[in-house]
Structure 1
């Protein structure tokens, strides 16, 4: 040992050695007890093991550092994780080397290490790389890889609880049980928590997803004979569907049914269809919910193909049926995994949370079996991916007839009379069974050939969104029934009689046996089963003893749980509520595709994100994702119908008011959105944007949403982009006067000239070959523009020279990007609520920082020491900073009004827009069409003359014109007719859709566009910027175009107030970038700006139809608008996020 003192061998502040050893001893006891016994051979007479050593002998062999190793080892065993930076394994090896060969304790420690190492790998492996296990099988087989038939369709039901008690061979007649314990009679009792019928439509889908029995058998015409026959031969023990939550009612129970659902092209399902015939006999909300999942699947498949993550879904060219089939299947199966992922997220985050009453709290906690558990010696990890096989007992539990509302009861009566020809309550079971069988057989096998609620289908096979949304809305408004005895409507009598007889044929355990199996106490009395004296008396009459009560009648007659928030939301019968929670855990935890194989790699990053929940949105509920993808044109982004449809709206208002979240939502009636009308030509765009009387800006509400203050909700109403009145024009004058002041042009140019090389050097990384690489968008363009705008308004930013700022570069850009998107690019209804909610929180936080700065400047007339420190090292902007804020305060308004009403909206509009156009400009010059100009750009960048800089500005403007996907929106205040045409058409030689061709027949494609009052138009600067009527050779770089011809900074009274500033600043930034030697993209996907044509989702995918948009499908106009992806490709983003470049040093 070294000559180190004993005290230096321990970390500081260690407890006394005796205390540490006592703690270690406790851990040793736990660790050793968890190690399974491993028999060792007895030592032979010639063995060198010798006599076992005792603990004292072992301790003598150890040094103080070995006790640290022991403590760390057992701590890691308890916690389940090892910090390998502490070299624990290596220190353990050293410890073993010191112990005697015959150390008993050492051998146990060794066994403990072996146990830890063994547990690091699953035995046997639970997932493989085999193609057979990559996707869900249509019939559910192969989910459990070591027992492929477990839970597959066509397998027998399992049994949860053996029937060990003597049961009366002569049970009461099913009819008597129904009439005495089940029948609702004329009294409907609404659900105490006002749960909507829509929640039980999901429950119905879950039931038929995992339970489907041969329902109708040809038998003689008496229930007594039927009962005896069932008891003799038994109801079919075979489950016709899989035991997994795989949306079989939508996709089909087997390969044949699944094939009938698929188009076999592009991974799509036949639009607005579902596989299950039985669902056509359920209230229309059930089928509508399945159609919503159908639309979601097709949304996912369409975007998977477009995104094509890592080339995974590369569309084959040519005529190769095998490759085409693989392409379709990969898209279909992956979309199915994602759709099922959302389905189970809805079950766990919306459905189970409502069952537990968690929806009535501000908590986002949920009972989610997908949690990742660590491995430790104190708890056994819950098995996952083991497979599942549903039981007959749960077949009886998953029945929801007592919740049927009067509205659905009447609908069911009407349909059954129509289908069966008479009232089902007046039919014998044989008549009922035969009639239902005949009805199902008459339904076409091909789902596309079936009708749905007599709704008309469009030419592409879709149903009208408004019709489906109406059914959905009415389902949410409809309060369901409550649980307890005598709650089932008479119309369900035949089904219930069959349920009673089936339970007997399956030889089910009694109610008390089932309860005991789940660790619940037996019901000692009939009053304990149900305290209602009348119900208890009926049970006593029918069964004589609580232990004799049959399972199914007992489940239906049992008392219901009282409302409790949180705790009891479903208010279901006692035994059923406990059992379904166990089953929910088993169904998810045992499913390999929801646990071990539920990964971004299998679902794609984007797909995994689509199926995931957000703890900050709707307390982690996710149903809004399904609603908005199914009905994007029918509900406001904050509609209570879309966000919490499992409870009726009036009750949701009480709930959300109680947790102070009601202000986030609207209870207004859903409104069908009018379609956006694209305006494409330069002349038509100009007509709209210069006409303030008939076309109004629409950003006012979004701006006000971000800046509104308590008791002062209209701070943003006078901002120049909030409206078209005199007050808005006055504000615009103030903004321009404040921005365009003094030697602004020189200051801005110098600032970018100083800052850009600094950021390039700071954020780039040297790579072999005397080269450097950087993410040009994220780490240069975004950062530089963010710092410039921070300097404009004295915003504290934390960087390498100002460590005491509030935001880092990336944080502030993310904040400003979210604000910009929420105001100007909130086009995706599915993400709108999340975006607006997050953006408001970010805006409020940023506004408080700006407020503090403005108040300091207002009071002191100069920047305080701390703000000055924050800006140390930055390039000088003497005209801006505190002076800019002073100018904005000059009209006499108070600080709060100026900050929230002017400064915050200006900040919102600046950074992201500047970064977008510059990023796309550089992207153009790195692409095949523009890179021929790079040598000249490099020469001009190093010439450093006013003339060269002027030429660079023209190159920059041309790049922005040719690549900038800018569009603005207006709303018509009166009906207008405008002549428009398509300046561009897609190029067959450009599959990316980025570089169009000029329309060869503009005169022939001119059309009169009628814009009704209240409709919105989107003025497309991408197409207007390529209009040959204004831009000669529109697809070429020309340096002789007038500066006022460029449209990407806007047209009309609302053109960009900072246009001149942006032009100067972005040209200076552009100059520094193109001045890099041998500038080029980084190899592979890293050097590409992942993007594709922005295509709004209208609720369903249909084939292009002749005549749409005034032209044939192959003559669709080029729109030029793009959607981008985040760096990890998990989300779409409206502006560029990443593009890596290299250059030579």
Structure 2
């Protein structure tokens, strides 16, 4: 992010500013020598061993035509790109050129199509010219809210259109060509064929038997480790964009866009069959495409997961209801018909926005799992991906550069090319054999190669007649739906997934197609001939590849080449199909090539992948926050730090929560086998980040919400805090220093040390909050109008930076401040790091496995940042360089060093005592500090403190609690204790929870707890346990707190109460405090999950977190005393400042001084003077202090406060501003 990091404001899960993009020198393809030199320089600088031969091949690959694809130039280029920094300008230039060249090989839009035939009908003499209805997509359905009302919905027709959402049939994707790519339109033809091929071509059955039939004697499993899951995703894509009409095979009955038609269908009628028509939901575990029931069951499992993801998205969208876009458009007392239409409109909007979001996940899986498997970039640590959605600078099309969102029409060539039957695994080949035997019960295994198309076609028709017309009743793979929920059993879905992820796919090339598909392939060869597609060499020439000069160029196997020569005579005569499938397969390259396609197929697949994504308006120009909502866009946004952007794991973890470890080596990139993933992780040195465990049923969650139950749980040694096993996973490759001593961490040790400072901490915290709070208030609040009405984001701009400062000082973290002017960290960095660590520690293993990997990584980043910066400070203290080094500066009166009696001085003493207890082991001390600051020592940690403050303040500011809030303000003004009010407000409002992990079987209040179960301690609920708390729902400031008080179960609650109380005291001094008008004054939160847990949205509504981060309040004025003040006004100001509130004093000499003033009775100023009255203090201000300022710019004074047998010292600073 650009700008000063010390001015950055905290935004959970996001950033207010954009990240900086590319750096380095500019290069051009027009200057290949300079480009080669720059590429060599950048590669060697990152330790990449590269030869001049490889550099030469790369330059040739991007500048020479036709491309000799057998030289491997493209694959070498991809390998080198994965070695370059994501900020490299050369990487950007070469990636853009690769995308541009792949895009350039196809026409946009296509200019040639197949089909178009004359149709005849018998004329009825009685009605010779009947009116023909306009084409429309119309459905009628019963309102889900009122069975007596029937509604009709129609897709708008030209010239009207549906622009914000995808239409069911894909029309209006292109604004210039609304019907381009629509379902029900003809296939395009990409390649112009002028070669006169044989009039009598080789028999299709002979071609299959000699050149395509799988050779069972050879090992054809993919050597890069690609799994069957890759084939399943490819199968969904293939059925997404190809659905040849059975009556007219020139027509595709699905759209030419990746719109997930196998799930959603290609018409309103299809959608009606799978939708509930209420709240945007789909029928449980239901998908539209019945053809896929004839595919291996793993394909259908993936569609079930997409269904579940859709329903999850629709649920969250409605709860967030961004800008009210999903609010029912009718009054509560609307008539039934108006209400029915409003419900239908709400459902329409929710369904279509959810569809766009699910489509975004689908595309990101295609780009960051599927394409990374094709190019084998997963086998590297690189975040490079061939993402065609990027902006490409103007080159040759127009001043907009390579176009996007112009529409697409799939072609017959790609219909043939996407027949990935060679990849079918041996396990799925067996399943296919069994499926065919099911279709043809009179046949035997050995007969499957002899069946005719007529026989198979009839069997398929009979099979399809038995498929339920209601998609929600369909079943597959022997799985049965639950009669009550309509869902499949998670256990069965997990079993199929595991088997699929363990199953290696096979390779492309000659003699690799399962024999059972002989009839299907014969039909494909025949269809290619009917479409009259170009030859293999014409196809290669079209894609800028060298023509095959010999049959050995096509396939180097002498046997294959010899057969081809006997059948076709000349390489130019070889047909496109089956030629595409019998070429040599590319060698596996790490990185560059993973699935090992044949040469022509490999190039064409990359070109089509670029076209399918880049030509789609909803994947490019209209892939926006405004269409997907902020949360939706963020939910499916890839993170390059997560295996280069992998996203398929999220689909699995969302649909089957808790079954797989969050870091399952199989799930994080399931398009590779588990064995291959483990091998890759070993080679990259990241294996410790993964779990090799197989899936198991989700752990039980045992909720405990009574005071007695929680006390029992806390006293049970076999129930350990969840942060201990969570933190055990935080070790990172190459960083063994951090966490090496975590096993020695003891919460009791820190609590005991903090108890030693219990008497001095309140005054130190009060001073910190009042002085720093006033500075933040002055800096961040802004006037709304002239009558001194101010507004402030009380959380983002006050509570959060104050919390960061408090915890950083108490645990001696390296936050830059006036007491640590060389600090390396900003308040935002400290707070974000502590919250990330806290979230991982308390919820990482128990909440939302779909986000757990990223949460752990953020916790690792936060831990490393805090540990590395804190280590130097601890070493200073260990070497006597801490407070001692600051003492000299303190004597000189400097305000940028540790203040005696302040929170940071206590933090220094905490470090000193830890060093004594840990025998000067720096690593152990550092671990105690970051663990203590994040989860172990202060109730709720950083986020918990802010959440508690927020809930308390919201409670006090409610209209019905006005009297309570007035009492608090009066007591604050008088300097009286308000902590009982704070504690009682916490009890009333808190929903705090913590988790314990059972290391052995236990029983708590009659509930059985098994080993590894999660025990959820709902301490917030316990504070309102009616069996222990009289009138638990009523506010009673005199209540005895001899039960769990709903703040936390670990750490020092007293310290937390002190800090939160001081925050409340500070804001109580703001006049007429109230929520800002409109939504700004509210905190947006929603509830999710079976236990209705509250999640807070961040400022941009893009991210859900456990703690609030933004709430704007209005107030009237900051206390200011002008230069012409009177004695009485000064006296009033000093009485008002008895609570330690900062007061600005503007003196008649024109100097603005900042004063920290306290109650003046019995205050002794050493040998200078005794201040006993306001008059003597006024004299001191106007004489002594001002005269001292004539001699120095800064002045430090030591105030001793005492009386009644007790007291404390404080160091305060005055300075000119």
2:269 — aligned with what?
256
Corresponding position: 1:663 with 2:688: yes
1:591 to 595, 616, 624: 616
Give the alignment partner of residue 921 of structure 2, picking from 883, 895, 906: 895
Write the mapping of 1:736-885 to structure 2, written as runs, cut at 5 A.
Answer: 736-737=754-755, 740=757, 743-768=760-785, 769-798=787-816, 804-826=822-844, 827-860=847-880, 862-863=882-883, 871-872=896-897, 876-877=902-903, 880-885=906-911
Alignment match of 1:958 (pick from 973, 981, 984)? 984
Q: 1:210 aligns with which of 230, 238, 241?
A: 241
Separation of aligned partners in 1, 2:421 and 2:684: 32
Instruction: Say which SS state the counterpart of residue 942 (structure 1) adopts.
Output: helix
Question: What is the CA distance between 1:1123 and its match in structure 2?
Answer: 0.8
For 1:340, the equivalent position in structure 2 comes to 359
Query: 2:658 & 2:172 partners in 1: Cα distance?
Result: 40
Whether the aligned pair in 1 keeps the contact of 2:169 and 2:182 (CA below 8 Å) is yes
Name the residue aligned to 1:511.
536
Q: Give the Cα separation in 2 of the matches to 1:307 and 1:403.
A: 43
Instruction: Judging by fraction of residues, say which structure has more helix.
Output: 1
Please name the residue that 1:1130 is paired with: 1102
1:35-56 residue CA offsets vs partner (Å, 9 max, x unmatched): xxxxxxxxxxxxxxxxxxxxxx
Q: 1:524 to 1:927 in 2, by over 3 A?
A: farther
Distance 1:269 1:249, change over 3 A: same
Where 1:471 maps in the other structure, the secondary structure is helix
Q: Match for residue 455 of structure 1?
A: 479
The residue aligned with 1:925 is 956
Aligned residue for 2:1024? 1026
Residues 797 and 807 of structure 1 are in contact (CA less than 8 Å); yes or no, is this contact kept in structure 2? yes
**Which stretch shows the higher mean deviation, 970-979 or 412-421?**
970-979
For 1:614 and 1:263, the matched residues in 2 are separated by: 33
Deviation at 1:931, TM superposition (A): 4.4
Which residue number corresponds to residue 227 of structure 1? none
8 Å Cα contact 2:405/2:618 also seen in 1: yes
2:494 pairs with 1:469: yes
Distance 1:757 1:926, change over 3 A: same
Distance across 1 between alignment mates of 2:1093 and 2:1063: 24
Distance in 2 between the 1:398 and 1:262 partners?
A: 30
CA distance in 1, matches of 2:842, 2:303: 34
User: In the alignment, which residue of structure 2 is the partner of 1:572?
Assistant: 597
933-942 vs 370-379, which deviates more?
370-379
- 2:915 touches 2:922 (CA, 8 Å); kept in 1? no
> Which residue is equivalent to 2:168?
138
Alpha carbons 1:156, 1:238 under 8 Å: kept: yes
- Give me the whole-angstrom Cα distance separating, in 2, the residues matched to 1:549 and 1:369: 32
Equivalent residue, structure 2, for 1:286: 299
The whole-number CA distance in structure 2 between the counterparts of 1:507 and 1:629 is 46
The match for 1:555 among 560, 580, 584 is: 580
Instruction: For 2:372 and 2:1096, locate their aligned partners in 1 and report how far apart those are by CA, in whole Å.
Output: 34
Q: Is the CA contact 2:166–2:173 (under 8 Å) kept in the aligned structure 1? A: yes
- 1:431 corresponds to which residue? 455
Residues 552 and 288 of structure 1: CA distance in aligned 2, closer, same or farther (over 3 Å): same
Q: Secondary structure at the match of 1:146?
A: coil
Partners of 1:495 and 1:543 in 2: CA distance: 22
Q: State the partner residue of 2:368.
A: 349
- Report whether the alignment pairs 1:271 with 2:279: no
Q: Which residue of 2 aligns with 1:627?
A: 652
Indicate if the aligned counterparts of 2:508 and 2:597 stay in contact, CA closer than 8 A: yes
Counterpart contact for 1:816–1:911, Cα < 8 Å: yes
Task: State the distance in 1 between where 2:690 and 2:722 align.
Answer: 20
1:267 is paired with a residue whose SS is coil
SS at the partner of 2:1114?
strand
Counterpart position of 1:69: none
Answering whether residue 309 of structure 2 is matched by residue 321 of structure 1, we say no
Identify the match of residue 196 of structure 1 among 227, 232, 240.
Answer: 227
Check the 8 A contact 1:804/1:870 in 2, yes or no: no
The CA distance in 2 between the partners of 1:543 and 1:1120, in whole Å, is 69
Distance 1:1087 1:1043, change over 3 A: same
Aligned counterparts of 1:411 and 1:627: Cα–Cα separation in 2: 23
Distance 1:870 1:323 in 2: 63
How far apart, in 2, do the equivalents of 1:878 and 1:669 lie? 48
- Whether 1:167 and 2:197 are equivalent positions in the alignment is yes
Q: Which SS does the other structure have where 1:1141 is aligned? A: strand
Moved more, 318-327 or 237-246: 318-327
* Counterpart-to-counterpart distance in 2, 1:426 and 1:805: 79
Q: What residue in structure 2 maps to residue 538 of structure 1?
A: 563
What is the distance in 2 between the residues matched to 1:675 and 1:264? 34
| CA distance in structure 1 between the partners assigned to 2:187 and 2:159 by the alignment | 30
Q: Is the 8 A contact 2:166 2:352 kept in 1?
A: yes
| Pairs within 5 Å for 1:468-487 | 468-487=493-512
CA–CA distance in structure 2, aligned partners of residues 1091 and 784 of structure 1: 23
The 1:720/1:130 distance shift into structure 2, 3 A limit, reads farther
Separation (CA, whole Å) in 1 of partners of 2:737 and 2:1085 = 42
Task: Give the stretch that moved more between structures: 700-709 or 425-434.
Answer: 700-709
Aligned runs of 1:109-124 on 2, under 5 Å? none
Residue 870 of structure 1 deviates from its aligned partner by 8.9
Q: Is the 8 A contact 2:1001 2:1010 kept in 1?
A: yes
Task: Give ranges in structure 1 of 5+ residues lacking alignment.
Answer: 1-25, 27-78, 80-127, 218-234, 722-728, 980-1007, 1097-1118
Cα distance change of structure 1 residues 472 and 705 upon mapping to structure 2, 3 Å threshold? closer
Residue 555 and residue 653 in structure 1: after superposition, are their counterparts in 2 closer, same or farther (change >3 A)? same
Preserved CA contact (<8 Å) 1:965 1:1022? yes
TM-score (norm 2): 0.74
Q: 1:1069 Cα deviation (Å)? A: 1.4
Q: Contact 2:986/2:1045 (CA < 8 Å) preserved in 1?
A: no
The residue aligned with 1:51 is none
CA separation in 2, counterparts of 1:870 and 1:416?
84
Q: Matched residues in 1 for 2:904 and 2:858: separation?
A: 34
Give yes or no for contact 2:658–2:698 (8 Å, CA) kept in 1. yes
Residue 387 of structure 1 is matched in structure 2 by: 407
Conservation of the 8 A alpha-carbon contact between 2:874 and 2:926: no
Q: Distance in 1 between matches of 2:917 and 2:820?
A: 33
- Superposition deviation, residue 752 in structure 1: 2.3
Deviations 1:878-915 (A, max 9, x none): 75032221111122423324324412210112322222
SS at match of 2:879: helix
Matched with 1:1057 is 1051
Instruction: Please tell me whether residue 1139 in structure 1 is matched to residue 1133 in structure 2.
Output: no
Q: Is the 8 A contact 1:707 1:901 kept in 2?
A: no
Looking at structure 1, the residues matched to 904 and 400 of structure 2 have their Cα atoms a distance apart, in angstroms, of 65
818-827 or 414-423, larger mean C-alpha shift: 414-423
SS at match of 1:924: helix
Question: Which whole-Å CA distance do the structure 1 matches of 2:314 and 2:578 have between them?
Answer: 45
Distance 1:555 1:878 in 2: 72
TM-superposed deviation, 1:362: 1.2
Residues 812 and 929 of structure 2 are in contact (CA less than 8 Å); yes or no, is this contact kept in structure 1?
no
Give the root-mean-square deviation of aligned CA atoms: 2.5
Distance in 2, Cα, partners of 1:637 & 1:929: 45
Residues 754-803 of structure 1, C-alpha deviations (whole Å, 9 max, x = no match): 33223222221122142111111111111112111222233332358866
